Chain A
Amino acid sequence: MRSAAALAQLTLRAAWRGGSARLVAALLLALALTLPLVLRDDGTVAGRATLLVRLSLTLSQSLLLVYLGWLAADLPARERSDRQIHLLQTRPASLASRLVGRWVGLQVLDATLLLLVGLGLAGNLTWRAGAAPTDRAPGPTALQTLAAWRRYPGQPDPPRLPPGGQQTWRFDNLAAAPRRVDGSSRQPSELRLRYRPRAAGAGPQLDWQAAGSRLSGAVTASNGVVTCPLPADTDGVLTVTNRSPREVVWSGRDRPTLLQPAGGFAANLLRALLLCWLQGGLLAALGLLAGHLWEFATAACVVGGYLLLAVHVPWLPASPRAGLAALAVSAVAPLVQTWPVPDLAAGWRLAASPAAALLAGQTLLCLLLASLLAGRREAAGGEPV
């Protein structure tokens, strides 16, 4: 415990006095200040705010992840090359407590920097929400708009609706959606679908039928997004009739999705930051392990490779049947998705999935191999791990 605390403090001092933490903090601040000036949005408060949150979080988190990975790999690797490891290894502190201490130090640093990002973002948006909105009609302010939504993609996919046709969609997970605190009913939902308008004018005329009651077409279209408010007791089966004169086809990300509000802006920002922090923790742990096993160049390659892999997850097939590689990689998918805040429960489901087991197996195997290599290196006269 004592030694873990000592290592955590050492890590913070290394980052701060080495100057790297100060540089990253300055970059994050500069990002928070300059991003609103260079962004080109769709002119609505909601659009601008969404863009700002997404871009800020994505850019800041990318910078932070690269920094954390670099620092985590660099600190232990340098400790070995500069021989400080000799003085650590001859103390009664165990390797585990040293690793934990370093990790805690990195996470405190990460939390501090994320707090900076969060404060910058919230301050920026609050200020903009107070400024005169550019929307002509009095609309929702930025902070109201930024409530995150839980998403339930509809089945089947892709839906194809000829003129006059009817389609029934099931929203599978809706039954499991959390109810209001009083347990009476679910929160009001919204059906949202995006279409690419082929001709100018309004979107398709759609009629909705949910839970047996007909809800004809209070459909609003803005920027190709169709939204339709649904009653609180929507039960997961929706029947839609296309009253427009042309066929409508949706697929992939545009397909009809049922959205339920999942917390207000502040709560969601906190959740997003927490998610960023957890991702940072994962990367820091990986970097530390790599830095303990290999010299900096190798460790940095391992961490960088992992980051690249994680960033490219959206381009890999997401279906669980799409191959072992995609399966293993899908366990790191949350690394790039911070907003809208993904359902945290999905993370737990993922942890219990075969993909996670596979990934854990691979990690164990890698560690075993690495420790074998490390043993070899000691015999070859290198520094012991």
Chain B
Amino acid sequence: MAVERCLEATGVSKQYTDFWGRPTVLAVEALDLVVAPGEVVGLLGPNGSGKSTTVKMLVDLLRPSRGSIRLFGRSPRDPLVKARLGYLPEESCGYPYLTGLETLHFYGRLQGLDGSRLTARVATVLDEVGLRAGRERRVGQYSKGMQRRLGLAQALLGQPALLLLDEPTSGLDPLGRRDVKALIRRLAAAGSAVLLSSHLLAEVEDVCDRLLILHRGRTLASGAVGDLLRQPQGLRATLPQLAPERAAELLAAIRPLDEAATTEPLISRLEAYFLAVVAAAGAEGRDA
């Protein structure tokens, strides 16, 4: 029995045209993509490579010029499909005159929630994105990171089976990024499928099971992150307890195995260092 696919795109292309129908930009070309439940897939590519165009086609904001898109085996225009979808656009787009809480209530009602279910759901997503403290402030006064968190919160409102996130961590501080990455992993573990676009390599590497590299609309590579990055030859050993003065000793011991072996001091990544420093300073940090 085939597992239900959350998302299946075959041969999807998007040709932008001018008013008279003359082609201008071929933003996406013959894209094939499948996302299964519980999977996190990353769309990776430089600026202008067609990531946002792809996501917009998947949520029916743009019509593909060629190819077919099925979400949960149906057309993306189907309201049943939309009810199971969460979308975070590239740019934040709340109503500046509403407070964060009102914004979520508004989108929740459009999603079909009401009454105590809505209130409970709003409280949950506010906690999940760490926006509880700022919920009574007007969206127009939000910082960029807060707006991003609000965008994420509205995407999560309907407990979506498929989440499409266009650059979810742009504008977020490292703590926010860490939280969002953890959130995405949690959602995937609970069975949701997530498709996220980004040009931050570390982020995609950390959180995605599979990735797709786009360049000028064409798919350059796709597959499981582990498979794509694994080098069939070679090995890296980490010895966190070994003092750097003993590197010569170690090299001498392993040179007979591999002539090209090298050693270098263990350096932590800036992100890990930053998080450790902030944690040490006792910053609570989860709430924006």
Closest chain A CB from B225 CB (angstroms)? 27
Closest CB pairs A-B (n = 4)? A6-B109, A17-B97, A92-B79, A83-B93
Flag whether B136 is at the interface (Cβ < 8 A): no
Q: Which residues of B contact A384 (CB under 8 A)?
A: 61-63
Across the interface, do B111 and A91 meet the contact criterion of CB distance under 8 Å? yes
Residue of B nearest to A5 (CB): B109
User: Considering the chains assembled together, what is the distance between the CA atoms of A84 and B147 in angstroms?
Assistant: 13
Q: Which residues of B contact A5 (CB under 8 A)?
A: 109
Residues of A in contact with B (beta carbons under 8 Å apart)? 2-3, 5-6, 9-10, 13-14, 17-18, 82-84, 86-94, 376-381, 384
Residue of B nearest to A384 (CB): B61
Across the interface, do A2 and B97 meet the contact criterion of CB distance under 8 Å? no
Across the interface, do A89 and B60 meet the contact criterion of CB distance under 8 Å? yes
Flag whether B89 is at the interface (Cβ < 8 A): yes
Q: Select which of B16, B59, B93 is within 8 A of A84 by beta carbon.
A: B93
Produce 1/0 per residue, B110-152, CB < 8 A to A.
Answer: 1110100000000000000000000000000000000000000
Flag whether B21 is at the interface (Cβ < 8 A): yes
Flag whether B227 is at the interface (Cβ < 8 A): no
Q: Select which of A3, A13, A89, A380 is within 8 A of B19 by beta carbon.
A: A380
Q: Which residues of B contact A94 (CB under 8 A)?
A: 79
Q: Which residues of A contact B56 (CB under 8 A)?
A: 86
Across the interface, do A91 and B24 meet the contact criterion of CB distance under 8 Å? no
Q: Which residues of B contact A17 (CB under 8 A)?
A: 97
User: Considering the chains assembled together, what is the distance between the CA atoms of A17 and B82 in angstroms?
Assistant: 30
Closest chain A CB from B267 CB (angstroms)? 41
Q: Which residues of B contact A82 (CB under 8 A)?
A: 93
Given the known interface contacts A13-B97, A82-B93, A83-B91, the answer about A92 and B82 at a Cβ–Cβ threshold of 8 Å is: yes
| Most chain B CB inside 10 Å of its own CB: which residue of A91, A93, A380 | A91
| A-B contacts, 7 listed (Cβ < 8 Å) | A2-B110, A2-B112, A3-B109, A18-B97, A87-B93, A93-B110, A380-B19
Q: Which residues of A contact B89 (CB under 8 A)?
A: 83, 86-87
Across the interface, do B110 and A92 meet the contact criterion of CB distance under 8 Å? yes
Across the interface, do A90 and B109 meet the contact criterion of CB distance under 8 Å? no
User: Considering the chains assembled together, what is the distance between the CA atoms of A93 and B108 in angstroms?
Assistant: 11
| Most chain A CB inside 10 Å of its own CB: which residue of B19, B56, B59, B60 | B19
Interface size grouping (class) on chain B: 35 or more
User: Considering the chains assembled together, what is the distance between the CA atoms of A178 and B93 in angstroms?
Assistant: 57
Q: Which residues of A contact B83 (CB under 8 A)?
A: 92
User: Considering the chains assembled together, what is the distance between the CA atoms of A94 and B95 in angstroms?
Assistant: 20
Q: Which residues of B contact A376 (CB under 8 A)?
A: 19, 21
Flag whether B47 is at the interface (Cβ < 8 A): no
Residue of B nearest to A377 (CB): B19
User: Considering the chains assembled together, what is the distance between the CA atoms of A370 and B118 in angstroms?
Assistant: 37
Q: Which residues of A contact B54 (CB under 8 A)?
A: none
Q: Which residues of A contact B109 (CB under 8 A)?
A: 2-3, 5-6
Flag whether B169 is at the interface (Cβ < 8 A): no
Across the interface, do B110 and A379 meet the contact criterion of CB distance under 8 Å? no
Interface residues of B in 145-198 (CB under 8 A from A): 154
Flag whether B72 is at the interface (Cβ < 8 A): no
Flag whether B264 is at the interface (Cβ < 8 A): no
Q: Which residues of A contact B106 (CB under 8 A)?
A: 6, 9-10
Closest chain A CB from B56 CB (angstroms)? 8
Closest chain A CB from B136 CB (angstroms)? 14
Across the interface, do B97 and A86 meet the contact criterion of CB distance under 8 Å? no
Flag whether B85 is at the interface (Cβ < 8 A): yes
Q: Which residues of B contact A93 (CB under 8 A)?
A: 110
Interface residues of B in 76-115 (CB under 8 A from A): 79-80, 82-83, 85, 87, 89, 91, 93-95, 97-98, 102, 106-107, 109-112, 114
Q: Which residues of A contact B259 (CB under 8 A)?
A: none
Across the interface, do B62 and A14 meet the contact criterion of CB distance under 8 Å? no
Closest chain A CB from B61 CB (angstroms)? 6
User: Considering the chains assembled together, what is the distance between the CA atoms of A18 and B95 in angstroms?
Assistant: 11
Q: Select which of B17, B25, B82 is within 8 A of A90 by beta carbon.
A: B82
- Can you add 7 more A-B contacts, CB < 8 Å, to A17-B97, A83-B93, A92-B80? A13-B97, A86-B56, A89-B60, A92-B110, A377-B19, A380-B16, A381-B17
Produce 1/0 per residue, B60-72, CB < 8 A to A.
Answer: 1111000000000
Q: Which residues of B contact A3 (CB under 8 A)?
A: 109-110, 112
Across the interface, do B87 and A87 meet the contact criterion of CB distance under 8 Å? yes
| Most chain A CB inside 10 Å of its own CB: which residue of B25, B98, B110 | B110
Across the interface, do B60 and A90 meet the contact criterion of CB distance under 8 Å? yes
Flag whether B18 is at the interface (Cβ < 8 A): yes
Across the interface, do A6 and B110 meet the contact criterion of CB distance under 8 Å? yes
User: Considering the chains assembled together, what is the distance between the CA atoms of A86 and B18 in angstroms?
Assistant: 21
Across the interface, do B94 and A84 meet the contact criterion of CB distance under 8 Å? yes
Residue of A nearest to B22 (CB): A380
